[in-house]
């Protein structure tokens, strides 16, 4: 366990200590469950009641927070408690892995592969011919790095990650367990006899800087050219990115979303879980897509919010849902009107 004092933590997150600056913690805890020796934070006002009940030794809070009573815990005040806590967790994680260096056995590193400084290669990892790996790269057990792969600095490949041949990864990338980068795209040409002929996938995958890829996510290599994940993209678990897709910078995509081949997604998009996106489409910058939506056409106007299947304007989709729920009553009223019209017609 690594211990930090309140003063040390405040220096890491540019905060101001309120209380005993020498008190130390070695663990993190949720504010409603934290105990002595743990650090927690308060960002959401609905959890404020726990601020006065928690046993945590140190609490990170917003500098704007007005206390209802004095607290036994030491506070660290910052402009944004949630962002500060995220920064602290990141620094803690870095400290836990910075001492991991060297090569464990058994592992395989091809003679033509080049590794930078402070690398870590765990047992049962495989690094192929002509692979180029930068500084401070951590490669955990059962990772496969294929031939001619290029990896930048400060990259973490968690257990079971597979990087196929010729793919390119930038700096400050984290790829979680079971992710596959560069498997073949789904390319098959129909033949006259009804069977399918595989179309060789000769391209690669390019992942730019500051990207995170979740567990069991797959990013297919391009048929020709590159499948591209731009800088700052965050991909959740269980996502399928097909061949020749481009995901714009700082876009975030939630779990179980599937993106079909050659679709281009703009920057700063937000895509919910279980969204399905058809191929050869364009999604403009800043678009938000609600969970379970189906995207069947391009959307060129930026900063829209889309809902439904097929997806359309969010507000229009919500109105349509209201009408759909009322259909049984409308059907009943129509039938009653038909009977009334028939009766009036007979009297006439």
Which of 46-60, 62-76, 90-104, 229-243 bottoms out in mean pLDDT, i.e. has the lowest? 90-104
Nearest to 147 by CA among 162, 165, 124: 165
pLDDT at position 252: 98
DSSP code per residue over 301-330: STT-EEEETTEEEHHHHHHHHHHHHTHHHH
* Inter-residue contact 227 to 221 (CB < 8 Å): yes
pLDDT at position 78: 97
The structure tokens listed for 70 are: 């004095």
Please tell me the pTM assigned to this model: 0.83
Which of 26-40, 157-171, 173-187, 299-313 bottoms out in mean pLDDT, i.e. has the lowest? 299-313
Cα→Cα distances 57→5, 6, 20, 72, 257, Å: 10, 9, 10, 8, 41
Over the chain, what is the mean pLDDT?
A: 94
Place 195 in a pLDDT band, splitting at 50, 70 and 90.
very high
* Per-residue pLDDT at 348 exceeds 70: no
Nearest to 172 by CA among 212, 127, 128: 212
What is the torsional sign of CA 80, 82, 84, 87? Answer: negative
pLDDT at position 316: 72
Cα→Cα distances 172→12, 35, 227, Å: 20, 34, 19
Place 1 in a pLDDT band, splitting at 50, 70 and 90.
low
* Per-residue pLDDT at 2 exceeds 80: no
pLDDT in tens, 83-118: 999 999 988 888 877 778 899 999 999 999 999 999
pLDDT in tens, 19-54: 999 999 999 999 999 999 999 999 999 999 999 999
Nearest to 223 by CA among 266, 177, 262: 262
Which of 4-8, 92-96, 135-139, 190-194 bottoms out in mean pLDDT, i.e. has the lowest? 92-96
Q: Which helix (H) or strand (E) holds 271?
A: strand 270-271
pLDDT in tens, 4-16: 999 999 999 999 9
- As a whole number of angstroms, the distance between CA 229 and CA 283 comes to 14
* Per-residue pLDDT at 304 exceeds 90: yes
Place 146 in a pLDDT band, splitting at 50, 70 and 90.
very high
Determine the longest span between alpha carbons in the chain, in angstroms: 98
pLDDT at position 94: 80
Domains belonging to the chain, first-starting first, are: 4-98 (3.40.1390.10), 102-318 (2.160.10.10)
Catalytic status, residue 243 = yes
Better pLDDT: 347 or 140: 140
* Inter-residue contact 176 to 159 (CB < 8 Å): no
Residue of 176, 243, 280, 314 with catalytic role: 243
3-state DSSP assignment of residue 129: coil
* Inter-residue contact 269 to 285 (CB < 8 Å): yes
Better pLDDT: 112 or 322: 112
The structure tokens listed for 169 are: 């990864």
* Inter-residue contact 113 to 137 (CB < 8 Å): no
pLDDT at position 67: 94
């Amino acid at each position: 366990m690594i211990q930090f004092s309140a003063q040390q933590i405040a220096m890491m997150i540019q905060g101001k200590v309120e209380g005993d600056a020498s008190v130390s913690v070695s663990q993190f805890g949720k504010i409603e469950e934290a105990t002595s020796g743990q650090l927690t934070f308060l960002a959401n006002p609905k959890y404020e009641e726990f601020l006065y009940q928690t046993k945590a030794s140190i609490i990170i809070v917003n500098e704007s927070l007005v206390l209802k009573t004095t607290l036994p815990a030491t506070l660290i005040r910052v402009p944004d408690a949630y962002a500060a806590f995220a920064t602290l967790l990141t620094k803690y994680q870095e400290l836990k892995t910075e001492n991991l260096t060297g090569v464990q056995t058994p592992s395989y590193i091809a003679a033509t592969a080049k590794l930078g400084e402070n690398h870590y290669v765990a047992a049962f990892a495989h690094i192929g011919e002509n692979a180029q790996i930068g500084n401070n790269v951590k490669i955990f057990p059962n990772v496969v790095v294929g031939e001619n792969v290029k990896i930048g600095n400060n990259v973490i490949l968690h257990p079971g990650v597979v990087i196929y041949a010729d793919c390119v990864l930038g700096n400050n990338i984290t790829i979680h367990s079971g992710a596959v980068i560069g498997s073949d795209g789904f390319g098959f040409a129909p033949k006259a006899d009804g069977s399918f002929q595989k179309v060789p996938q000769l391209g690669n995958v390019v992942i730019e800087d500051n990207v995170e890829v979740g567990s069991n996510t797959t990013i297919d290599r391009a048929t020709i050219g590159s499948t591209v994940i731009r800088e700052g993209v965050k991909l959740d678990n269980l996502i399928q990115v097909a061949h020749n897709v481009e995901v714009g910078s700082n876009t975030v995509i939630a779990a179980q979303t599937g993106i079909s081949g050659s679709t281009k997604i703009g920057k700063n998009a937000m895509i919910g879980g279980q969204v399905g996106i058809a191929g050869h489409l364009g999604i403009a910058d800043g678009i938000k897509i609600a969970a379970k939506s189906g995207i069947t056409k391009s959307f060129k106007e930026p900063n829209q919010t889309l809902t439904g299947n097929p997806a359309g304007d969010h507000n229009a989709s919500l109105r349509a849902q209201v009408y759909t729920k009322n259909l049984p009553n409308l059907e009943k009223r129509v039938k009653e009107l038909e009977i009334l019209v028939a009766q009036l017609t007979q009297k006439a």
